[in-house]
Amino acid sequence: MKAGIITIGDELLIGQTVNTNLAWLGSELGNAGISVYKSTTICDQEEAIVSALDDYLEEADLVIVTGGLGPTNDDITKETLTSYFNTELVFNEPVLERVRQLFENQGKVMLDSNIQQAMLPKDALILDNRYGTASGMWFERDGKIIISLPGVPYEMKTLISEEVLPRLKSSFGVQGKYYQTLMLQGIGESYLAEKIETWEKRIYDDGLHLAYLPSPGVIKLRLTSEKGPKDAKKINAYFDELKKRFPHLVYGMNDESIFEVVGALLKSKNATLGTVESCTGGGIANAFVQYSGSSDFFQGGLITYSNALKAKLAHVPTELLAEHGAVSEEVAKAMAIGGKKQLGVDYVIAVTGIAGPNGGSPEKPVGTVWIAIATPKKVVAQHFLFGNHRGRNIEKTELYAVNLLRKVILEIDA
């Protein structure tokens, strides 16, 4: 099945809203075995909608349209589609009752504009939106399927998952792909590709597809089979090879967060964690507490951005700061040791670095970072040199620090 995606909204065109719907739809349809050949973002105007539909229906078997279904006057997708398919709007009592119940549950008064959301095309299959007032609409013409969905991401995603994909699979025999993703931290894409070149060749010889999905500090390796779940054992066996070869790099599967993985590891050992952060400004602590259950292991953190607070809060000796500078192995270790005592925890992550773009020197250029881990038995430290981009330096420091903690706990020799 060949599909096209049309996203509607001026806010998307001017960059006021990031078009996350398009990325999510492309991924979900692809995983379901539906080939997306083209996507377009257009303004909420009748001429633009009609022109895009005419274009797509020449080639596509399926067209998914998102956006333009709100209760305000500038949302005209429903009316445009009603005219396009030569039908009429009729009152839908079950939809009105659903919308009324939605407002009652929220303790709000339903307005006349919301009542109009129950006026829907007579010849469309109406898809129930349990999270919002705009219903999904399924049209068919000459063997083609056109589906209109609200642009609110969680509403659209629910309709795709609960209504659209199940109907496509049952009625049109759409066969989904099977894929698994391996998560790695601590290596660049080109370096990894060189290390697994022979392994990668075997992947393709075995009829599988490999995709590199890099981001700052993390690489995802996705293996896909067009044959579906029957290749699950084969894919898992290939990934098991990499887990054994690169335990210092591989930390999880399928978009697992390294912070969640390390948190689970700490909980399994009934161990506690604290942080002493300079260049990351509390980012490591913040990343851990995003996950429910983090209070089982995470006790707290010290933000010691200045030398004065490194000395005051983490008890770093002032003479050590004067002799070696804040960004040094000696100070990083002292931060970890002092933080462990002050916070009363089993493990401490301490980070100090030059995020940039200013502050570097020939001896310590921008991107220089020292990470130290204090454990119940020892203190280890590692030096990194990242780059010139402040945001990426901070993000990488957080990721490398947590992976270093993982390796220390598991006694993995990098």
The pLDDT of residue 205 is: 95
Return the structure tokens found at 187. Answer: 């290596």
Report CA 395 to chain centroid distance, whole Å.
15
Average pLDDT over residues 62-84: 92
The pLDDT of residue 414 is: 56
Instruction: Give yes or no for residue 33 having a pLDDT over 90.
Output: no
Instruction: Give yes or no for residue 5 having a pLDDT over 80.
Output: yes
Give the span between the Cα atoms of 43 and 86, in whole angstroms: 22
Report DSSP state, residue 88: -
**Residue 113: which pLDDT band, with cuts at 50, 70 and 90?**
confident
Return left, alpha or beta for 236; rule: phi > 0 is left, psi -120 to 50 is alpha, else beta. Answer: alpha
The pLDDT of residue 107 is: 87
Instruction: Give yes or no for residue 27 having a pLDDT over 90.
Output: no
Average pLDDT over residues 118-135: 94
Pick from 134-148, 164-178, 332-346, 381-395: least confident: 164-178
**Residue 175: which pLDDT band, with cuts at 50, 70 and 90?**
low
The pLDDT of residue 59 is: 93
Instruction: Give yes or no for residue 395 having a pLDDT over 90.
Output: yes
- Mean pLDDT computed over every residue of the chain: 94
Look up residue 183 and give its amino acid. Answer: M
The pLDDT of residue 66 is: 97
Average pLDDT over residues 373-401: 97
How many other C-beta atoms are found inside a 10 Å radius of the C-beta of residue 383?
Answer: 13
Instruction: Give yes or no for residue 173 having a pLDDT over 80.
Output: no
Return the structure tokens found at 125. Answer: 């299959």
**Percent share of the chain, pLDDT over 70:** 99
Pick from 88-102, 104-118, 209-223, 333-347 the range whose average pLDDT is largest.
333-347
Pick from 96-105, 147-156, 312-321, 392-401: least confident: 96-105
What are the distances in angstroms from CA 158 to CA 152, 163, 222? 10, 8, 24
Helix (H) or strand (E) holding 211: strand 209-215
The pLDDT of residue 306 is: 98
Q: Is 160 helix (H, G, I), strand (E, B) or coil?
A: helix
pLDDT digits 0-9 by tens, 141-168? 999 999 999 999 999 999 999 999 999 9
The pLDDT of residue 136 is: 97
Q: Quick check: pTM over 0.85?
A: no
**Percent share of the chain, pLDDT over 90:** 86
How many other C-beta atoms are found inside a 10 Å radius of the C-beta of residue 340?
Answer: 22
DSSP letters of 222-263? EEEETTGGGGHHHHHHHHHHHHHH-TTTEEEETT--HHHHHH
Give the span between the Cα atoms of 132 and 127, in whole angstroms: 12
Return the structure tokens found at 172. Answer: 């049109």
pLDDT digits 0-9 by tens, 202-225? 999 999 999 999 988 999 999 999
